[in-house]
Amino acid sequence: MPEDDDERRSGRMDRVVRDLLAGKRLKIGPGDARDRDSIRAAAALAGAREPFPRMSQAFRRRLAGRLAPAGEPGLLSRRSALVAGLAAAVGGVTGAGVFRVLDMLKPPLANPHLGSPTVFPAVKWYDAGPLSAFKQDVPVRFQAGAVGSYLVRKGDTVVGLSSVCTHLPCELNWMSSAHQLNCPCHNVTFDTDGFQITGPEAYPLPPLPRLQVRLTPTGRVQVGAT
C-alpha cells in the first residue's frame, strides 16, 4: 500500500530533517536512495536558512594548515604576509600622493577583547562612493564583492568592518537608536569600531574582522576585498 509505505518512509525522512535542522551531518545510506531527491530538497531548504554562509575562522585555519606544504608556514601566515605586503605597497603609493590609506592594520589602542581584528586581504578594490556621503560614526552596509561590510566614517578616515558576527555567522544589523551593530541570531552587539559590547556572558568574542579602505585623490572611498 503506498499510504503505508509513505508512513514508514516519512519517519525516516523526518529523522533526516531533524538532523538538518539541528545543524548535524547528513546520516543517510543506500537504503535512502529511493528518497534521494526529497533528501536533497530537504538539504537545500535547510541550507537556505543561512543566506550568506561563510567558512568559520577555525575551519579557515585548519584548511590553511592542510594546504601548507610541510616545513613551510601555513597559508594564513602567508596571507598575513601578503596583507602586510599590500599595506606596505599601498603605503608606498601613499607617499607618492596617489592614494591615502584610511584604515589598515593598525590595532586599536585599548583592546579589552580578544586580540586585534584580523584583516581581509585586498585582492580587488571596490568603489564605495564619495567620502562626503558618509555621516560621522554611522555605519553604512556595503557589499565588497563576496565580502559584506559596514563602513564607518571616523573623521576623515573610514573603518571597514565585516558585517558578519564573530559568534555565529549571522549578518549584523545597524540599530541607530542604540548606536550599535546587533546580531539577530543571539543578540550580540558590537560598537562602531567592531568590538563586542554585549553578548554571551560565558566568553568574550573576537572583534569584527577589518577590511582595508583607501581614499582616492578625488575623495572616493575604495574598499579592498576578494
Partner 1 sequence: MPEQGPHRPGELIEFPAADVPAAQIALDELDLIYAFLYARVGNRADAEDLTQQVAMKAIPRLRAEAAAASIRAYLFATARTALAGFWARKFGLPEDELDDDLAAPAAAASPWPETGEAAERVNRILGALPANYRRVLELRFLRGYSLKEVAAETGNTVGGIKVMQLRALRAAAKVDPDA
* 3-state secondary structure labels for all residues of 116-166: CCCECCCCEEEEEEEHHHCCECCCEEEEECCEEEEEEEECCEEEEEECECC
Query: At a CB cut-off of 8 Å and minimum separation 6, what does 160 contact?
Result: 103, 142, 144, 149, 150, 151, 152, 210, 211, 212, 213, 223, 224
> Smaller CB distance to partner 1: residue 189 or 222?
222
Q: Scan residues 3-42 and list those touching partner 1 (CB under 8 A).
A: 6-7, 9-11, 13-14, 17, 19-21, 23-26, 28-30, 32-33, 35-42
- CA 67 from chain centre, in angstroms, equals 21
Closest approach of Cβ 192 to partner 1, in Å?
20
By CB under 8 A, is residue 50 in contact with partner 1? yes
Q: Which of 1, 66, 109, 177 binds partner 1 (CB under 8 A)?
A: 66
Question: Of 71, 112, 155, 217, which lies in the binding site for partner 1, with binding defined by CB under 8 A?
Answer: 217
Element (H, E) at 183: strand 180-183
Query: Minimum distance between the CB of residue 77 and partner 1, rounded to whole angstroms?
Result: 12
Minimum distance between the CB of residue 62 and partner 1, rounded to whole angstroms? Answer: 8
Q: Indicate the DSSP class of residue 175.
A: E
226 belongs to the binding site for partner 1 (CB under 8 A): yes
**Interface residue with partner 1, options 101, 102, 118, 142 (CB under 8 A):** 142
